[in-house]
Chain A
Amino acid sequence: MRTFIQRIPVPITAAGPSIAALTLLVTLGAADGVAQNHVGQYEQADIEFGARLYNTNCVRCHGESGGEVAGVDLRGGTYARAESDFELMRLIRTGIQGTAMPPNDFSQSELTGIVSYLRTMRDVDLSTVTLGDETRGRGLFAGKGACASCHRVGRNGRRTAPDLTDIGAVRTAANLQASLLDPTGSMLPVNRPVRAVLADGTVLNGRRLNEDTYTIQLIDENERLRSLDKAELRELAAGTTSPMAPATDVLDEQEVADVLAYLLSLKGLN
């Protein structure tokens, strides 16, 4: 819980201007810190994803060592033409005009991967099983993982959980891994499970799609879109526990890595 400044205001004196001494008592709770990505710290899943993209897109010119273009050392972690990660992403996207460095059409999550890999190329360990096999992952998604019993990809699966058709383009490898291992900890606020009791006592369960001060929109258990007027509800609650179990409940480590590789391949209409 956070505690904040207690206010002890001092009135403006009635007898003309004067400096009113103000004492503000404080109970400063360290605002409950959520774990952060610190500058210079990159996630293994992003690095491995980036390594794959590097091998298919960059290695032919820059080489495995990152040092095969004259005057360019990609392993160094710092670059003449780009300082921040943001600038590096822009450089990779636009290429360098007038040189052989080509423009690339990468999604944000792919750029995050490539930059994570470039920055850590020198000392990264790629022998972990964070990122597995895409084809095996596809099978697990529909089969043993039972992901499709809640999620939809293209025309297959249910819609009660978020549609994952383009999830690989909109989430980074590290985000997706976190969603698989700790669904509650990485649940987006908008996706919270909602329980609403209507005026006539009907109970509606669903996933939140949107909300404003007066209304809430959700998709119910029967995959229907519902919009509710808050003032007309008997009860309304949005839960903070994800209806999804950690993927490790049903899959082993290698299988989770395979599903992750599959999710990263989902980039919308192909």
Chain B
Amino acid sequence: MTRQTLIALMLVSLLPTGAAAQVTFERLLNADEEPENWLTYSGSYSSNRHTKLDQITPDNVEDLELSWVFQAGSLEAFQATPLVVDGIMYLTEPVNNVVALDAKRGSVFWKFEYTPSSDARPCCGAVNRGLAILDDTLFLATLDGNLIALDAVGGKPLWQTTVADPTEGYALTLAPLVIKDKVMVGVAGGEYGIRGYIDAYDAKTGELAWRFYTIPGPGEPGHETWENDAWKTGGAPAWLTGSYDPDLDLTYWGIGNPGPDLNPAQRPGDNLYSDSVVALDPDTGELEWYFQFTPNDPYDYDSVQIPVLIDFPDGNGNTQKLMLWGNRNGFFYVLDRESGQFLSGTSFVPVNWASGLDDFGRPVQTPQPPGATTFPGIQGGTNWYSPSYSPETGLFYVSAWEAYGSNFEPQDQTHVPGRVFLGGRPANPFGAGANVPGLRRGHINNWTDAAGGGAVIAIDPRTGQQRWRVPMTDVTSSGILTSASNLLFTGNREGHFHVMHAETGELLLRKTLGGMIANGPMSYMVDGKQYVAIAAGHSMFVYSLRD
């Protein structure tokens, strides 16, 4: 082979290969402009879970019919949101398999099988919430602490790197977030006395670019909010995907509970940055600002919820750069995402752990006496289920657990690496044998109207007031999607897929899918047809309008 042909061959191999999807960073930045695709976990960097697709409308939604079903070969909860790129759907099948599907028909192109090591010990179910993509590479974060890059065309691994040690209780359950040339992930493990962190890896090589510890070490600002060695086992995981503001060049991540979860006496102080949102420089991982929702949390009120970024007209031709946050602690917050300043906060479910928030957004805590019930209970007023914001209605939508409580009984506990470090147990306020809603639902609803119920709540961020609410008998763990045609798609634990009018909450369509819905519906378009995908039980159902 001549030198010239060799060089020519090398050049060819540098070109994009054939018709393979090239999801550049540029495309990720403008994901809103190609609503036929769903390029990140939350649909766009601002995480509004809002689609500009408007083929399905309040007038024709009755004509939605099932296009296809994907049945997972696993009985773990289906919490993943799929990605769709130019007609191809990329989906994690619980736990850590990846499938590439024809988004129109559900036929499978390839399947990457990965069995996490039995060292993995997730607190709360072997779940995975999805993938990230950059160029033609997919990124998968595994339950046993690995980050894997996969070729989106062939489904074969390109590199694999260890993020965390599962034997110490670390796990990865989130969909990674790609910013520029880096892949970001945060760890789960807040129930094991870990020390949490968020990592960024070089998307090409898998090399660690930076690590942000969610608990500052000795000498770092914030370390003084911990006493003794409590910071070493203080938890503060980051188990849901963050958001990104390209203009401010800041990435926002929610941080989870301090450990031991239920015994604050073992970790005096505010316990930064547990239960906070942190704003990081995506190039360096440096902290720009933080805001703490629940200092010295005794209730496991993880603040990992999705940061919803909105640009809000201020009436003078300017826009306010805001962040909306429906927190597990039962309050809905509006923050200035440039400075981290607290703007307003109102409770969206019954709350009695705090009597309110002060001028700086700090809760005035009102611990309940032993034996009394704290609201919201340990699963929170909301949790991992994605909220949505619709620029059409100007409303924020959240899945809530209303009037749901737990009795907290802290207990001193010694930390043993890799063992559950809860510092007590939440007691059931409703007597032995009566269930309270937990992570998963069985077939029998044994808490009906005794232990709270679910609701979809529409909140006006200008006032914090509820505009409407649709209550349900059982609690709900479904994410929410809104559309430019004023539709709201969601589901519930009872296995119902709901389509509502985003302005009024009017129920326009109900389909019974027969399994708990624990992920967010999403939407995409192929060949001019809009689809809505929603997983229930162990299958994913895809709907479109009847021809």
Interface residues of A (CB under 8 A from B): 2, 4-5, 7, 9-26, 28-39, 83, 170-172, 174-175, 178, 185-186, 188-190, 208-214, 238
A-B contact pairs, 30 of them (CB 8 A): A4-B347, A4-B351, A9-B464, A11-B462, A12-B312, A15-B315, A16-B320, A17-B338, A19-B341, A22-B345, A24-B347, A33-B407, A34-B430, A36-B409, A38-B409, A39-B409, A39-B411, A170-B433, A172-B432, A188-B434, A188-B446, A189-B430, A190-B447, A209-B444, A210-B445, A211-B445, A211-B448, A212-B494, A213-B473, A238-B449
Among the listed A12, A30, A32, which residue makes an inter-chain contact with B462, where contact means beta carbons less than 8 Å apart? A12
B20, CB-defined interface residue at 8 Å: no
B471-513 interface code vs A (CB 8 A; 1 in, 0 out): 0111000000000000000001010100000000000001000
B510 adjacent to A189 (CB under 8 Å): no
14 new A-B contacts at CB < 8 Å, known A9-B344, A37-B427: A2-B350, A4-B375, A11-B344, A12-B334, A13-B314, A17-B320, A17-B341, A34-B430, A36-B371, A185-B431, A186-B432, A190-B445, A210-B445, A212-B496
Shortest beta-carbon contacts, A-B, top 10: A24-B356, A9-B464, A189-B450, A14-B315, A212-B494, A4-B350, A26-B355, A31-B373, A190-B446, A33-B372
Residues of B within 8 A of A (CB-CB), count: 72
B356 adjacent to A5 (CB under 8 Å): yes
B322, CB-defined interface residue at 8 Å: yes
A12 adjacent to B429 (CB under 8 Å): no
Q: How long is the Cα–Cα vector from A147 to B345 in the complex, in angstroms?
A: 54
A31 adjacent to B359 (CB under 8 Å): no
Closest to B463 in A: A9
B344 adjacent to A213 (CB under 8 Å): no
Closest to A22 in B: B357
Chain B nearest Cβ from A64, distance in angstroms: 30
Chain A residues near B446: list those with CB within 8 A. 188-190
Among the listed B374, B431, B474, which residue makes an inter-chain contact with A34, where contact means beta carbons less than 8 Å apart? B431
B3, CB-defined interface residue at 8 Å: no
A213 adjacent to B496 (CB under 8 Å): yes
B118, CB-defined interface residue at 8 Å: no
With contact pairs A12-B462, A36-B427 given, residues A22 and B344 touching in the complex (Cβ less than 8 Å): yes
With contact pairs A17-B343, A38-B409, A212-B474 given, residues A24 and B355 touching in the complex (Cβ less than 8 Å): yes
Q: How long is the Cα–Cα vector from A62 to B159 in the complex, in angstroms?
A: 56
B352 adjacent to A189 (CB under 8 Å): no
B414 adjacent to A83 (CB under 8 Å): yes
Chain B residues near A37: list those with CB within 8 A. 427
Chain A residues near B461: list those with CB within 8 A. 12
Chain A nearest Cβ from B470, distance in angstroms: 9
Q: How long is the Cα–Cα vector from A14 to B318 in the complex, in angstroms?
A: 10
B339, CB-defined interface residue at 8 Å: yes
Of residues A5, A16, A39, A186, which shows the largest number of chain B Cβ atoms within 10 Å of its Cβ?
Answer: A5
B window 392-437: CB within 8 A of A: 403, 405, 407, 409, 411, 413-414, 424, 427, 429-434
Stretch of B170-178, B183-191, B362-370 contacting A (4+ beta carbons < 8 Å): B362-370
Chain A nearest Cβ from B367, distance in angstroms: 11
B284, CB-defined interface residue at 8 Å: no
Q: How long is the Cα–Cα vector from A35 to B451 in the complex, in angstroms?
A: 16
Chain A residues near B444: list those with CB within 8 A. 190, 209-210
Q: How long is the Cα–Cα vector from A25 to B409 in the complex, in angstroms?
A: 27
B22, CB-defined interface residue at 8 Å: no
Chain B nearest Cβ from A83, distance in angstroms: 7
Chain A residues near B510: list those with CB within 8 A. 214
Chain A nearest Cβ from B466, distance in angstroms: 9
Among the listed A23, A38, A186, A189, which residue makes an inter-chain contact with B356, where contact means beta carbons less than 8 Å apart? A23
Q: How long is the Cα–Cα vector from A173 to B403 in the complex, in angstroms?
A: 30
Among the listed B322, B334, B405, which residue makes an inter-chain contact with A31, where contact means beta carbons less than 8 Å apart? B405
B451 adjacent to A189 (CB under 8 Å): yes
With contact pairs A22-B356, A188-B446, A213-B494 given, residues A10 and B405 touching in the complex (Cβ less than 8 Å): no
Among the listed A4, A19, A83, which residue makes an inter-chain contact with B359, where contact means beta carbons less than 8 Å apart? A19
A5 adjacent to B350 (CB under 8 Å): yes
B181, CB-defined interface residue at 8 Å: no
Q: How long is the Cα–Cα vector from A4 to B445 in the complex, in angstroms?
A: 26
Q: How long is the Cα–Cα vector from A212 to B475 in the complex, in angstroms?
A: 10
B339 adjacent to A17 (CB under 8 Å): yes
B465 adjacent to A7 (CB under 8 Å): yes
With contact pairs A14-B315, A188-B433 given, residues A33 and B373 touching in the complex (Cβ less than 8 Å): yes
Q: How long is the Cα–Cα vector from A14 to B431 in the complex, in angstroms?
A: 49
Q: How long is the Cα–Cα vector from A18 to B449 in the complex, in angstroms?
A: 41
Q: How long is the Cα–Cα vector from A35 to B351 in the complex, in angstroms?
A: 21
Chain B residues near A2: list those with CB within 8 A. 350, 352, 375, 403
Chain B residues near A213: list those with CB within 8 A. 472-474, 492, 494, 496
Chain A residues near B403: list those with CB within 8 A. 2
Chain A residues near B366: list those with CB within 8 A. 26, 28
B315 adjacent to A175 (CB under 8 Å): no
Among the listed B342, B343, B345, B448, which residue makes an inter-chain contact with A189, where contact means beta carbons less than 8 Å apart? B448
Q: How long is the Cα–Cα vector from A260 to B58 in the complex, in angstroms?
A: 58
Among the listed B407, B433, B450, which residue makes an inter-chain contact with A36, where contact means beta carbons less than 8 Å apart? B407
Chain A nearest Cβ from B317, distance in angstroms: 11
A12 adjacent to B322 (CB under 8 Å): yes
Q: How long is the Cα–Cα vector from A133 to B474 in the complex, in angstroms?
A: 41
Chain B residues near A15: list those with CB within 8 A. 314-316
Q: How long is the Cα–Cα vector from A10 to B358 in the complex, in angstroms?
A: 12
Among the listed A5, A14, A31, which residue makes an inter-chain contact with B372, where contact means beta carbons less than 8 Å apart? A31
B225, CB-defined interface residue at 8 Å: no
Chain B residues near A38: list those with CB within 8 A. 370-371, 409
Chain A nearest Cβ from B289, distance in angstroms: 13
Of residues A11, A30, A238, which shows the largest number of chain B Cβ atoms within 10 Å of its Cβ?
Answer: A11
B346, CB-defined interface residue at 8 Å: yes
Q: How long is the Cα–Cα vector from A4 to B354 in the complex, in angstroms?
A: 10
A9 adjacent to B465 (CB under 8 Å): yes
Q: How long is the Cα–Cα vector from A13 to B462 in the complex, in angstroms?
A: 8
A28 adjacent to B434 (CB under 8 Å): no
B473 adjacent to A26 (CB under 8 Å): no
Chain A residues near B281: list those with CB within 8 A. none
Of residues B345, B355, B371, B433, which shows the largest number of chain A Cβ atoms within 10 Å of its Cβ?
Answer: B433
With contact pairs A17-B339, A33-B373, A36-B427 given, residues A11 and B463 touching in the complex (Cβ less than 8 Å): yes
Chain B residues near A33: list those with CB within 8 A. 369, 371-373, 407, 429
Among the listed A7, A171, A174, A209, which residue makes an inter-chain contact with B346, where contact means beta carbons less than 8 Å apart? A7
Chain B residues near A188: list those with CB within 8 A. 431, 433-434, 446
Chain B nearest Cβ from A208, distance in angstroms: 8
Chain B nearest Cβ from A97, distance in angstroms: 18
Chain B nearest Cβ from A126, distance in angstroms: 22
Q: How long is the Cα–Cα vector from A4 to B447 in the complex, in angstroms?
A: 21
Of residues A32, A38, A211, which shows the largest number of chain B Cβ atoms within 10 Å of its Cβ?
Answer: A211
Chain A residues near B432: list those with CB within 8 A. 171-172, 174-175, 178, 186
Q: How long is the Cα–Cα vector from A22 to B334 in the complex, in angstroms?
A: 12
Chain B nearest Cβ from A46, distance in angstroms: 11
Q: How long is the Cα–Cα vector from A168 to B341 in the complex, in angstroms?
A: 57
A16 adjacent to B347 (CB under 8 Å): no
Closest to A86 in B: B425
